[in-house]
Amino acid sequence: MALFRLGTPAEPKHAIRGDDVFLRPLEARDHPAWAALREQSRDFLTPWEPTWSADDLTRSAYRRRLRRHAGEMERDEAYPFLIFRQNDGALLGGLTLGHVRRGVSQTATLGYWMGQPFAGRGYMARAVRAALTYGFAHLRLHRIEAACLTHNERSIRLLEGTGFHREGLARAYLRINGTWQDHLLFARLDSDPAAPAVRVCPSPIGDEAGLSLQTICAPTGDEPCSRPA
């Protein structure tokens, strides 16, 4: 199996630094903020997501989520991240590069959610750009796919604004909010124009994030990274 993993699997504990946002894997200490933001955003999110289980926001379900994520990252299957605001560390939302397929595919599926108080301010577009850099440069993906409901204008604008191409319609593609629903399919290739350049910053995000690992910076320019650690 390892022979077919043409790309280099990621260090799962990477933090990704974007423009005004940073992304890192979920940690146990995030539960209170995560549960509060998801609860506050329940009516905003649930029409667009798989049905939440009755215990979804509890600490025990969160612990199971963390264990699942750790296994997925270890096996190079999925890379779930939380999104934080750079200047104050506020939790904004989440983003996952999931369903990683290696071999001749080298493809992953992008999923995301934004806390309602932070929606419409451009944070997700910045987080997606950072995740694209991580996916193409670090996970060595060839293709990143995304799917959204045909009437999800925000999601369509987000994907088109971050360089995804609309590829088609998949009938009854996912069971969202309890109903099998048609989805628009989008994808970006590593070879698409304006693919994000890559820079690995020497500076970690900082102790506050509990990380001392190298940081993937995105988007990038020619000048050296000057953001404070």
Kindly state the smallest distance separating residue 93's Cβ from ligand COA, in Å: 6
Ranges within 84-113 binding ligand COA (CB under 6 A): 112-113
Q: Does 117 bind ligand COA (CB under 6 A)?
A: no
Ranges within 46-75 binding ligand COA (CB under 6 A): 48
Q: Does 152 bind ligand COA (CB under 6 A)?
A: yes
Give me the 165-194 binding string for ligand COA, x by CB under 6 A, dash otherwise. Answer: ------------------------------
Kindly state the smallest distance separating residue 149's Cβ from ligand COA, in Å: 7
Nearer to ligand COA, 172 or 213 (CB): 172
**CA 44 from centre of chain:** 19
Q: Does 124 bind ligand COA (CB under 6 A)?
A: yes
Whole-angstrom Cα distance, residue 30 to residue 179?
A: 30
Whole-angstrom Cα distance, residue 157 to residue 17?
A: 23
Nearer to ligand COA, 174 or 229 (CB): 174
Q: What b/e readout covers 59-85, taking b as 16+ CB neighbours within 10 angstroms? A: eebbeeebeebeebbeebbbbbbbbbb
- Which residues make beta-bridge pairs with 195? none
Kindly state the smallest distance separating residue 85's Cβ from ligand COA, in Å: 12
Nearer to ligand COA, 55 or 153 (CB): 153
Q: Which stretch binds ligand COA (CB under 6 A): 2-10, 41-49, 191-199, 205-213?
A: 41-49
Q: Does 132 bind ligand COA (CB under 6 A)?
A: no
Q: Which stretch binds ligand COA (CB under 6 A): 12-20, 155-163, 209-217, 220-228?
A: 155-163
How many CB atoms within 10 Å of residue 42?
14
Compute the Cα dihedral for 55, 25, 78, 97 and give only its sign. positive
Whole-angstrom CA distances from 205 to 59, 94, 133, 185 are: 26, 18, 17, 34
Asked if residues 156 and 184 have their Cβ atoms less than 8 Å apart, the reply is yes
DSSP 123: H
Half-sphere exposure of 183 (CA within 13 A, CB side): 17
Whole-angstrom CA distances from 222 to 47, 80, 201, 218, 227 are: 41, 29, 13, 12, 14
Q: Does 119 bind ligand COA (CB under 6 A)?
A: yes
Kindly state the smallest distance separating residue 154's Cβ from ligand COA, in Å: 4
Q: Which residues sit at the interface with ligand COA, rule CB under 6 A?
A: 44-45, 48, 112-114, 119-125, 148, 152-155, 157-158, 161
